[in-house]
Structure 1
Amino acid sequence: MFHDTVYIEKRGGILMKEISLYIHIPFCKQKCLYCDFPSYAGKEILIDEYIESLNKEILQKGKDYIISSIFIGGGTPSYLNDDNLNKLLSALNKLNLKDDLEFTVECNPGTLNASNLEIMKKYNVNRLSMGLQSTKDNILKNIGRVHNYEQFKENYFLARKIGFRNINVDLMFGLPDQTVNEWKESLEEIVKLNPEHISAYSLIIEEGTCFYDLYEKDKLKLPSEDEERLMYSYTKKILNNHGYHQYEISNFSKAGNECFHNKAYWKCNEYLGLGVSASSFIDKKRIKNIDNIREYIKRINNNESVEDEIHVNDMKDDIEEFMFMGFRMIEGISIDYFKERFNKNIYEVYKEVIEKNINEGLLIYDSGKLYLSSKGIELSNYVMSDFILT
């Protein structure tokens, strides 16, 4: 039998489940050339109605839970005007929030100012995630970003001045025309600013993006695989030398600043996703909302369901997801916790696969945990494909 970890807290005599909450804002000033997220430019006319509808969904579906973390993503949440930001954050603050709530808002450089930062501070936002991607203005332009590095620094220092003490900076490597030295310089520049958290992702060419079309036409000059591996190696070395602990394949933090919300995903804990295209994992169901903004607004106003897809996980799904997500974390997977969660010994399910990957130097077993080696991290997609159950 599947044993999920359910956290219950008592408030006013009512038992309530503790979950993480994701809120999706699908609006952008401009769509980045690599982006395959459900986000749209040129639909500003819908923002007012969308926020009203989103708040209805928040108050209806969020009221029955204790919220341990909130992540407002997009799109560009910081693109909202002050009135809509006020309305959204006010609605979220009406929910049952934990005292030690981690509350993150994604922000794009160039969209922050004293006014919206003060609003976030007023409504208990205590973590900003700033999508920089590169310190090189020519690269930012080539990937479709609407800001430059100077704007990022102005926004970053303003956030510090207003009192934000937990800031993540998103960076990307393996970008078109990006050299290894340019990537090193970006890392060395950012660590001087001393953010609490750095996410360093490699570019993935996703179908349906502008970059995919260019790639198919052989018009995208990307770094070689060896150069990309070297970029990742420098990432780990430079960030480690400056006090950043790697706790997930692409995520590094100062002590005590790991992202609680993202760890909830990687540990396959329950979460509620609200808004257009948002996904939830509740009571073994994976639920995805509809993608169309106008249809979402219409259904909310008509008290109709905005759920588009519902998949009920079986044991096979649960185990595969647990393995895939668990191996993303540097600490890996606890053998004892696998047994507790699934009432099975991990070797009953994966003995040959585990032994094969250990023998190939891709997995390490130590102190009751299985985790990827350095080589295994570089070949993580290959390793994880071995854990698909047939």
Structure 2
Amino acid sequence: ERIMKAIQQTFPVKADAEITMEMNPGTVTKEKLETYYKIGINRLSIGLQTTDDERLKVLGRIHTYEQFLHNYQWAREVGFQNISVDLMSALPKEDLASYQKDIERILSLQPEHISSYSLIIEEGTPFYNNDEILDHLPEEEEDRAMYELTRQLLQKEGYHRYEISNYAKEGKESRHNSVYWTGGEYLGLGLGASSYLRSDHRYVGDKEKEEVYAYRFKNVSSMKEYLENPVTVCEQREEWTEITKKDAMEEFMYLGLRMRKGISEKEFFEKFKEPLEDIYGEVLLKFHSMNLLAWNGEKGERQIYLTAQGIDVSNAILCEFLLS
């Protein structure tokens, strides 16, 4: 409650602002949810992942499906009308039938937003050298079948796919995520919070570095350091990255094209003062001729987006927009 009051006193918060809280099932009470709703939080993002309790244990999650159901019902009862649920596919010992059961259970609840990602095993994670996990992952063909099943079942239920891995009811797209995918600015407050700010802000960066387009930085994660240095947010950083115009162009393309609406040629010029055609004309023509990219409008004002076939091979396409 104190945090919300401080934000409202410090920043001009819009009356219809989307205020999201991420929540792990099994970590809240109905009373807490009621308090969150009363102080202005109007959207919940719940990290369910799967409705199968055994697979939840494998993932190291502390909740059960039953706890998730209780939390979801409480959220509805106290007034939340905008709830997102995270779903994960291609889990160990998971097949198409069990994954379909996951989707159908979630759809029966009719959340306003569903995020759906495949499990990716990355180096440095607990699963990376775990043969018990690695030996029981679905084959690539089954993973692809789960991906396609997600699209079919969610679209049938009225969810539109506004980003490669995100589906929403009309008007319920995540505003925060959309800001990120379109290269918008965001300010992170508190321990370990990340920010992305244009270099023309008076309180961030080195004004002598004209080649720097923006800065991405992270606040310190140590509570001790944070309290010892309660000054401006920019001076509490433990990570700091200078984003050049070239970097920003790349991000504009490979993040923006993840969205179904794609990217605006006019917006590219307004941001970077260079025609999109001069920078990416060759790669755009290449994928357009392969029916992987499409566009609407006249040259200079086109809206460019991935086709259905392009979405299916999006990783291979998006890496082509790296200028290095």
Work out whether the TM-score is over 0.5: yes
Q: For 1:382 and 1:267, how far apart are their aligned partners in 2?
A: 20
1:211 CA displacement: 1.0
Per the alignment, do residues 92 and 207 of structure 1 end up closer, same or farther by CA in structure 2, a change over 3 Å counting?
A: farther
Aligned to 1:178: 94
Aligned to 1:49: none
Aligned to 1:345: 275
Alignment of 1:40-55 (within 5 A): none
Per the alignment, do residues 204 and 341 of structure 1 end up closer, same or farther by CA in structure 2, a change over 3 Å counting?
A: same
Match of 1:249 among 160, 164, 182: 164
Alignment of 1:95-244 (within 5 A): 95-96=10-11, 97-214=13-130, 219-244=134-159
1:102 CA displacement: 0.5
Q: For 2:284 and 2:168, how far apart are their aligned partners in 1?
A: 29
Q: For 2:234 and 2:262, how far apart are their aligned partners in 1?
A: 41
Match of 1:335 among 242, 246, 265: 265
One-letter amino acid of the counterpart of residue 246, structure 1: R
Quote the sequence identity (%). 43
Per the alignment, do residues 267 and 304 of structure 1 end up closer, same or farther by CA in structure 2, a change over 3 Å counting?
A: closer
Q: For 2:127 and 2:121, how far apart are their aligned partners in 1?
A: 6
1:304 CA displacement: 9.5
Match of 2:181 among 252, 266, 272: 266
1:347 CA displacement: 1.3
Q: For 1:303 and 1:356, how far apart are their aligned partners in 2?
A: 44
- Corresponding residue pairs, total: 304
One-letter amino acid of the counterpart of residue 224, structure 1: E
Per the alignment, do residues 302 and 377 of structure 1 end up closer, same or farther by CA in structure 2, a change over 3 Å counting?
A: closer
Aligned to 2:203: none
The structure, 1 or 2, with the larger RCO (C-alpha pairs under 8 Å, 6+ apart) is: 1
Aligned to 2:194: 279
Q: Is 2:311 aligned against 1:372?
A: no
1:372 CA displacement: 1.4
Contact 1:211–1:220 (8 Å) recurs in 2: no
**In structure 1, the residue corresponding to 2:20 is in which secondary structure?**
strand
**In structure 1, the residue corresponding to 2:127 is in which secondary structure?**
helix
Q: For 2:67 and 2:76, how far apart are their aligned partners in 1?
A: 14
Alpha-carbon RMSD across the aligned residues, in angstroms, is 2.1
Per the alignment, do residues 372 and 304 of structure 1 end up closer, same or farther by CA in structure 2, a change over 3 Å counting?
A: closer
Structure 1 stretch displaced more, 273-282 or 347-356: 273-282
Structure 1 stretch displaced more, 126-135 or 290-299: 290-299
Contact 2:92–2:133 (8 Å) recurs in 1: no
**In structure 1, the residue corresponding to 2:18 is in which secondary structure?**
strand
Q: For 1:226 and 1:170, how far apart are their aligned partners in 2?
A: 22
> Which sections of structure 1, spanning at least 5 residues, go unmatched?
1-85
Per the alignment, do residues 361 and 294 of structure 1 end up closer, same or farther by CA in structure 2, a change over 3 Å counting?
A: farther
Per the alignment, do residues 332 and 291 of structure 1 end up closer, same or farther by CA in structure 2, a change over 3 Å counting?
A: same
One-letter amino acid of the counterpart of residue 124, structure 2: G
Q: For 2:196 and 2:249, how far apart are their aligned partners in 1?
A: 15
Q: For 1:116 and 1:288, how far apart are their aligned partners in 2?
A: 29
Query: Could you give the per-residue CA deviations for residues 305-353 of structure 1, whole angstroms, max 9, x where no partner exists?
Result: 3112323322101101101110110111112222222222211111111
**In structure 1, the residue corresponding to 2:217 is in which secondary structure?**
strand
Contact 1:93–1:123 (8 Å) recurs in 2: no
1:112 CA displacement: 2.0
Contact 1:229–1:378 (8 Å) recurs in 2: no
Contact 2:219–2:233 (8 Å) recurs in 1: no
Per the alignment, do residues 148 and 386 of structure 1 end up closer, same or farther by CA in structure 2, a change over 3 Å counting?
A: same
Per the alignment, do residues 244 and 219 of structure 1 end up closer, same or farther by CA in structure 2, a change over 3 Å counting?
A: closer
Q: For 2:233 and 2:272, how far apart are their aligned partners in 1?
A: 37
Per the alignment, do residues 302 and 345 of structure 1 end up closer, same or farther by CA in structure 2, a change over 3 Å counting?
A: closer
One-letter amino acid of the counterpart of residue 261, structure 2: E
Q: For 1:231 and 1:302, how far apart are their aligned partners in 2?
A: 46
Query: Could you give the per-residue CA deviations for residues 46-103 of structure 1, whole angstroms, max 9, x where no partner exists?
Result: xxxxxxxxxxxxxxxxxxxxxxxxxxxxxxxxxxxxxxxx333343333321111100
One-letter amino acid of the counterpart of residue 369, structure 1: Q
Q: For 1:314 and 1:304, how far apart are their aligned partners in 2?
A: 18
Q: For 1:294 and 1:381, how far apart are their aligned partners in 2?
A: 41
> Which sections of structure 2, spanning at least 5 residues, go unmatched?
199-213
1:168 CA displacement: 0.4
One-letter amino acid of the counterpart of residue 144, structure 2: R
TM-score by length of 1: 0.74
Per the alignment, do residues 176 and 191 of structure 1 end up closer, same or farther by CA in structure 2, a change over 3 Å counting?
A: same
Q: For 2:233 and 2:63, how far apart are their aligned partners in 1?
A: 39
Query: Could you give the per-residue CA deviations for residues 90-134 of structure 1, whole angstroms, max 9, x where no partner exists?
Result: 433333211111000001111121221121112100000111011
TM-score by length of 2: 0.88
